[in-house]
Structure 1
Amino acid sequence: MDLDAYTAVHRAEWDRLRVLVARRRLDGAEADELVRLYQTVATHLSSVRSAAPDPVLVAELSELLGRARSRLAGTHEASWEAVARFFVLSLPAALYRIRWWSYGVIAVSCLVALAVGTWVATSPDALAAMGTPSQREAYVDDAFAAYYEPGADFAVTVWTNNAWIAAQCVAFGITGLWPAYVLLQNAALVGATGGMMVSYGEGPLFFSLIAPHGLLELTAVFVAGAAGLRLFWTMIDPGPRPRGRALAAEGRALFTVAIGLALVLGVSGLVEGFVTGSSLAWWLKIAIGVVVLALFWVYVLVVGRRAARAGETGDLDPDEAGYEAPVAA
């Protein structure tokens, strides 16, 4: 294909479509023309991509078709379909694809928490680093349990704080350092707190208050850290794709993970705000925490596997993300 000649022949149609897309109001004839030109330019894009995939022209036509499609379809009618697709396909597939990274992060974080907790519980010097004797006693006797005051305000505060931490793990994941720092700090803090509570004979209180919401909350933070580390690894080893294209695709998919984890942390915030500090029996509160965690993993492993097998990755559709010119392997 002579790309210059092809462009010269069809440039008038592309420009006309651009004019129609930019108009605020269209009469009946112009609306019909918009539909016809949309179909025509879509055919042009397909021809260019298959015969002469010039990246600049492909990007130009992709952007033009995206605007035209939005003008034709609008946003309100398609919004519910997009929401359904997000929850049924995009989000579970994105979570499923990083499951092994999540398993690894969970295992390492639990080992760190266990090691720090054991150290604080068995070492007088480590325990002393947690504060003066009066400060430790006040925390164990009152502050730890008093923190979990039931209510909507507490649930919202917890949710926004944890969602912000998870979003940072994904957003700054490309550094590799930030998610590792957040994960290690979080694991060490949980372990140290648990070790101090155990050293004062309040281990059962610690686990009965941390388990109902913490099972899902900590899992969400671990998955966020895994997503960030996956992005960092993509920069190091992009595979057969060019590094920029690989990072763009993974970044879009992991942004899907960040949105989903904000919702997951919303659920854990509700549990923390209305279950953890409630007057329910301790076994029932822990059972609720186990159930919500189990539902999360069923969603990831069952729904996610089905979506991944259907070819979903969590990335945007090509016409939303921008068509890519093929490259030689």
Structure 2
Amino acid sequence: MALIDTLRAVKLPGRLPGLWGHAPDPAQDTAIAAAALRSDAFRAAREADWRRLERIVARLEAGRLRALSDEDLLALPVLYRTAASSLSVARETSLDAATLAWLETLVQRAWFQVYGPRQGLGTWLARFLGGGWPAAVRGLGIDLGIAFAVMVAGTLAGWLLCAGDPTWYGALFPADGTDPRVPGATRAVLHATLFGQQGQTGLGAFAAYLFSHNAQIAILAFALGFAFGVPSLLLLIQNTATLGAMLWLYHGQGLTVEAIGWLSVHGTTELFAILLAGAAGLHVGRAIAFPGQRAVLDAVAEAGRRAALVMVGVVLMLLVAGLLEGFARQLIDDTGGRLILGWSVLALWCAYFFGLRRTPGKLR
């Protein structure tokens, strides 16, 4: 046998190699033959399963999933574990090196088919943007409506509080001492905060800061959802109350439309992203509080997977909002252009989320 010849070439203690003309040791040759027989028996008992696993893996690697029978698909994980166990034993025995290397490669290939990722980043991203993200957003269902209603209520609350008592403005919109946007500011001062900023420098750094700040708010709104979604809703109210206070201030000087145009450039994307983050947090919180007929862990796991997909998209939206706020809002200096840009972007987001009904492949 070839294995006997291989083992003969190994210098064992007490052996006198016949290569130099010495007589072979009969006891040692007997031991080598016995090891070879054990190795051949080990391989013969398992080789049929190894070969079957190799055929299944080769077809999967070639993309021929439909060519496999149900029996082969069900047997794949069992055959993989059997081959992995055989490899562990083979490393401790005298299985020949060529077969050992082949078995190691087979186990690695099978692992990728059983446990490895099914798709690369490019494929995952294409499925995410091509339907996975919109489907996850639509899956939030009633949580989107609740979050939207809360944001509208927060905006109205901020406006009405300031209208009833202007001192509320300082609480809702704290100034740093240099911000001219305070109650009592003249129309000219407030107008100057909306227009004439095309010559600003450092817009890239400003956009990065805005993205970081808004991302923190959105992630916090999502993360607080575990407390039955209540903190997420409170955070939405707080942020939109600030918006209401600001609109009240500009309305007092007849600059309501101009302020809305100024905010629309980035606000339609930014507020939409925060809406989705709050709805995602509420979605998880509702799954904890009202799991329905499912176990709590199962309900939370399903809601968490959907909400996590939404949050990946929220980060992308906030990046877009940061660029719009840091560049477009400063470079477009007329209300009409700002309104057109902002509301066109909002229409695109709505069409994307609620008009794209393509069913994506499974995202993992």
- In 1, are the aligned partners of 2:264 and 2:339 still within 8 Å (CA)? yes
1:136 aligns with 2:136: no
SS, match of residue 240 in structure 1: coil
Q: Which residue of 1 aligns with 2:219?
A: 167
Change (3 A) 1:316 1:83: closer
Higher helix proportion, which one?
A: 1
SS in 1 for 2:294: coil
Change (3 A) 1:12 1:296: same
Identity of aligned residues (%): 27
Under a length normalisation based on structure 2, what TM-score does the superposition of the two structures give? 0.63
Q: Distance in 1 between matches of 2:88 and 2:225?
A: 38
Q: 1:267 to 1:139 in 2, by over 3 A?
A: farther
Q: In structure 2, what is the Cα distance between the partners aligned to 1:18 and 1:79?
A: 33
Q: Separation in 2 of the partners of 1:19 and 1:271? A: 61
**Count of residue pairs brought into register by the alignment:** 268
Asked whether the equivalents of residues 221 and 231 of structure 2 are also in contact (C-alpha less than 8 Å), the reply is: yes
The answer to whether the 8 A contact 1:17-1:34 is kept is no
Relative contact order (alpha carbons < 8 A, sep ≥ 6): 1 or 2 greater?
1
Shift of 1:112: 2.6
Cα distance, 1:139–1:274 mapped onto 2, change above 3 Å: farther
Check whether the contact 1:163–1:262 (CA below 8 A) recurs between aligned residues: yes
Distance 2:235 2:160 in 1: 21
Q: Does the Cα contact within 8 Å between 1:121 and 1:196 map onto a contact in 2?
A: no
Q: TM-score, normalised by structure 1?
A: 0.69
Question: Which residue does the alignment assign to 1:275?
Answer: 328
CA distance in 2, matches of 1:215, 1:241: 37
Q: How does 1:51-70 map to 2 (within 5 A)?
A: 65-66=114-115, 69-70=116-117
User: 1:81-230, aligned counterparts within 5 Å?
Assistant: 81-121=123-163, 123=165, 126=168, 135-137=182-184, 141=189, 144-145=193-194, 151-175=203-227, 176-230=229-283
Larger deviation, residues 249-258 vs 8-17: 8-17
1:32 aligns to 2:32 (yes or no): no
How far apart are residue 185 of structure 1 and its match?
0.3
- Which runs of 5 or more structure 1 residues have no equivalent in the other structure? 1-6, 21-25, 43-64, 318-329
* Counterparts of 2:141 and 2:347, CA distance in 1: 15
Letter in 2 for 1:136: P
In structure 2, relative to structure 1, the CA distance for the partners of 1:127 and 1:178 (3 Å cut) is: closer
Q: Any gaps of 5 or more consecutive residues in structure 2?
A: 1-76, 91-99
Kindly provide the amino acid, as one letter, of the partner of residue 105 in structure 1.
A
